Amino acid sequence: MTSPLPPLADLHCHLEAVTTPLMARKLAKRHAIDVSRLFTETGEYAWSTFEDFLSVYDAMARVIRTPEDYHDITADHLAAAAREGVIYAEVFVSADHAAGVGLSFGDMIAAVGDAMDAAEAAGGPIARMVATSVRHYGAAKAEAAARLAAEADHPRLTGFGIAGDEAFGAPRDFARAFDIAREAGLGLTAHAGEICGPESVRAALEWLKPERLGHGVRAIEDPSLLAELAARGVVLEVCPTSNIAIGLYSGWAAHPLPDLIKGGARVALGSDDPAFFGASIGDEYRRAGEAFAFGHADLAGITRTAIAAAFCDEPTKTGLLARLSA
């Protein structure tokens, strides 16, 4: 694809994972932390397996220690997104990672929200936060994260979800956390169908009842499940570069994105862990266009789906759609 990209939307991005190696070193220096073991000789994050990635992710997140740090990584991320033409961005914020360095959830989201306010005032993306529990931290911590999200009084915190090691536990273990968030009126999303197969997606739909699924790509392995997703209108937050980086697919040519769309699934794109996997949301749109011959209208349709599924109010969606159509 050689034509300009349409306006972009990113529904699946972990805030800690926007921290570039350069920014991580800056924060480490700010707090006198040795992070040398986290990087390769060429300066990238050093990991090989998915489990290794989770470990390095958690270690890197410990350099993000103060409200100023969270403000800085958010501002850096949204400035880069603005340069790519992003009009709407959601980020996953983790109470557990903040608590791990002694920072309250309220202080973290206030700092992130301030950076979002400034970015929007400067003409950057409209942004929202999705409070995210970490599956391999267990059900009790997920319920605590859901309560924090439900009790938070911040207009930019509009969703709740679960991430982490999909092979840990079962979706039914986290049903109460999702009930807490649902009762508070938060939008719901759940990672499923990436590391584990279609059964993971089915269980998430049954027990968590989310409006969106993080990844969900392995639904392609079960035609009846794909048909169910299409019928229910559940939106898949697809992150192809991430799937390829962890070895789920050998490359873009093997990725099921076009088959998911042909099967009727509603699909948005996400950058997931851009600083780890080396792909921004602009890269995801661009590579999808090149790999699958998606034209401008196809990619604009992906943005339109993302906006319709966004965890923001209807007037905001109307304004975003107007910008997309301009």
Residue 307 near residue 324 (C-beta atoms within 8 A):
yes
Amino acid identity of residue 312, one-letter, is C
Q: How many other CB atoms sit within 10 Å of the CB of residue 273? A: 24
Rounded-to-integer distance, Cα 288 and Cα 98, Å: 34
Contact call for residues 232 and 31 (beta carbons, < 8 A): no
Q: Name the residue among 122, 109, 24, 35 with its Cα closest to residue 73.
A: 24
- Give, in degrees to the nearest 5, the angle at Cα 81 between 102 and 293: 130
In contact, 24 and 60? CB cutoff 8 Å:
yes
- Half-sphere exposure at residue 220, Cβ-oriented, CA atoms within 13 angstroms: 19
Per-residue tokens: 75: 């501002």
CA atoms of 216 and 6, how far apart (whole Å)? 24
The residue whose two tokens read 């584990």 is: 196
DSSP annotation string for 80-120: HHHHHTEEEEEEEE-HHHHHHTT--HHHHHHHHHHHHHHHH
Q: How far apart are CA 181 and CA 160, in angstroms?
A: 6
- Tokens for 290? 């090149």
Residues involved in catalysis: 194
5 DSSP 8-state letter: P
Whose structure tokens read 């707090």?
31
Using the 8-state DSSP alphabet, how is residue 41 labeled? T
